[in-house]
A and B are shown apart, each in its own frame.
Chain A
Amino acid sequence: MRGAMRRPRDRTWGFGVDSRSTQPDADTLLSLRGLTVARNGRVLMQPVDLDVQRGEMIAVTGPSGCGKSTLLLTIAGLIDRVDGLVSLDGEDPSDSELDWPTFRRRVVLVQQTPALLDATVRANLERAFAYRTANGSTYSHDDAQRLFDRMRLASAYFSENARTLSVGEQQRLCLIRALLVGPAVLLLDEPTSALDAESADAVEAVLKEEAGWRGLSAIVATHDRAQADRLCDRVIELEASSAGNASGGPGA
């Protein structure tokens, strides 16, 4: 639990295609090898190689439309990858050993647009523990309460319908739900896009604390370079897809 490893800040511009053969080292939690991402049959970027260490926050930046969201969807396996490997602790969810729901329970994707059931806030949070992959873990109201306080959400909301909350509140609620599940890695798509500066600061603080306290890792897609620098240990810059194609990517 202790000692989130903080690597010295370094910047990766584009992806090191040459690192493809490199085996992930022992500290690596989530490893992407030659991950090829496509949407509607069009390859969006160079194959991605990335090792995420325990407690490490990695920002993925780039112009809108460059495939940040699609990259996260592909890592979570909600979109099929064209090629490459994704492994968590050395196991690939496409193998029978680790199935996709179990993988997703540990690598939780929070999409940019909040998705909530037409039910109370509390029911929305409890729903995440109704699945087989919850594996006996149950909803803790105290934990939820603490996260509400830390993210500046009023606890009066618990009994309200989640869809009546403002978009900014819904966005934080989705993040809280993901944190309650207790993932090893969060895949966050523009996690503060609907938030004012104060709330965004609160969210960033919670993420940093979670990384420090329990070694939570995250891949954060953001268009905000300042946020990427504040929050993350490493920044990965995606090129616009036209540039990617010019440098040899398939697709037109």
Chain B
Amino acid sequence: MIRLAATDVIELSATDLVVATTLVLFAGLASIALRLGLERRLAIGAVRSVVQLLAVGYVLRWVFGLDRGAVVLALCIVMAVVAGHAAVRRPSKTFRGATWRACITLILTGLLTVFVVTCLVISAEPWWRPQYLIPLLGMILGNSLTGISLCLDHLLETLSERRPEIEMELALGATRWEAARDPLAAAVRRGMIPTINSMMVVGIVALPGMMTGQILAGADPLMAVKYQIVVMFMIAAATSLGSIGIALLTYRRLFSHHHQLRSDLILKR
């Protein structure tokens, strides 16, 4: 059981934030001087990040204050649905019903993983305590949606490109599972690769944002590392479960019970 000890946090005032704004101004000046034409986008981006983050801050403060499980759960589902929509927007191909399948996958695998962490690893009381649940779920969904996206992209691409081979296998008496197994495995592998790669280099090439944040917030580095290990494993589990989930749900949709490949259902966007 690990507990976060937050001491020595330097409070940031509104003035501090205004000073930080000068940092963005430097980027803007560089854009003007070098005629990069990015000033407008930079300004919009800066304003958006301030507005969005403040909004999230107030929502989180409100939810933390309410301390009601149902509200926390509702917020979780909203987060998963938003992530589900983002996940199916990236692949170059799609099919009808891809969005709700991605959402269901993220809701189930995200909640399962976060439950294991808050309830069994961190032992938060109650398990849905929003201070733990929501940031953890956010990290899970952010990574899992990338995995789902890559997995779906790879799977739909393979099923379109390699349709002749797959239909050949079906024509020789393969069941839909036998014909789909290799493309499914390749797609799940594709979805998991970024997570595995980041586990390889974590701490050497990049200091994870969460760990950095905890250290900035005054936590003992070793404590932050322990949290980070939990988070890495949690993300690995969620990404693999998410990739497997979306691959299986896509398989159920695109391979009919007559053991056909329904490539006519795959749409270009």
Contact = CB atoms under 8 A, between A and B. Distances in A.
Interface of A: 40, 76-80, 94, 99-102, 104-105, 108-111, 113, 115-117, 127-128, 130-134, 174, 177-178, 181
B172 A181 contact: yes
Contact of B171 (A78, A94, A102, A132): A78
A98 B161 CA distance: 30
Contacts of A77: 258-260
Given A111-B164, A111-B168, A131-B178, A181 B260 contact: no
Contact of B174 (A40, A131, A174): A131
Contact of B168 (A94, A100, A115, A132): A115
A133 B169 CA distance: 12
A69 B124 CA distance: 63
Contacts of A178: 172
Contacts of A102: 173
Contact of B167 (A100, A115, A116, A132): A115
Nearest to B182: A117
A198 to B, nearest CB: 26
A79 B178 CA distance: 18
B173 A78 contact: no
B170 A105 contact: no
Given A40-B264, A80-B258, A104 B165 contact: no
Given A100-B260, A131-B175, A181-B172, 12 more contacts: A77-B258, A77-B259, A78-B167, A78-B171, A101-B173, A101-B175, A104-B172, A108-B172, A117-B165, A130-B178, A131-B173, A181-B173
B172 A131 contact: yes
9 contacts: A101-B173, A101-B174, A108-B172, A110-B171, A111-B168, A111-B171, A115-B165, A131-B169, A181-B173
Most buried by B among A94, A115, A181: A115
Contacts of B172: 104-105, 108, 127-128, 131, 177-178, 181
Contacts of A79: 260
Interface residues of B, number: 18
B164 A113 contact: yes
A240 to B, nearest CB: 23
Interface of B: 164-165, 167-175, 178, 256, 258-261, 264
A133 B256 CA distance: 18
Nearest to B259: A100
B174 A116 contact: no
A178 B165 CA distance: 14
A78 B170 contact: yes
Contacts of A99: 259
Given A116-B165, A130-B178, A132-B178, A76 B258 contact: no
Contacts of B173: 101-102, 104-105, 108, 128, 131, 133-134, 181
Nearest to A39: B264
A130 B258 CA distance: 20
A111 B167 contact: yes
A181 B173 CA distance: 9
B66 to A, nearest CB: 52
Contacts of B260: 77-80, 100
B174 A115 contact: no
Nearest to B260: A78
Q: Please provide the 8 A-B residue pairs with the shortest distance between their CB atoms, ordered closest to farther.
A: A105-B173, A115-B168, A133-B173, A115-B164, A109-B171, A100-B259, A131-B174, A128-B172
A109 to B, nearest CB: 4
Most buried by A among B165, B173, B175, B259: B173
Contacts of B261: 78
B43 to A, nearest CB: 49
Contacts of B256: 80
Nearest to A110: B171
A77 B165 CA distance: 16
Most buried by B among A104, A113, A127: A104
Contacts of A40: 264
Contacts of B258: 77, 80, 94, 100
A203 B167 CA distance: 23
Nearest to A133: B173
B264 to A, nearest CB: 7
B171 A108 contact: yes
A113 B167 CA distance: 12
Contacts of A108: 171-173
Contacts of B174: 101, 131, 133
B201 to A, nearest CB: 32
Nearest to A93: B258
Contacts of A130: 178
Contacts of A127: 169, 172
Contacts of A113: 164
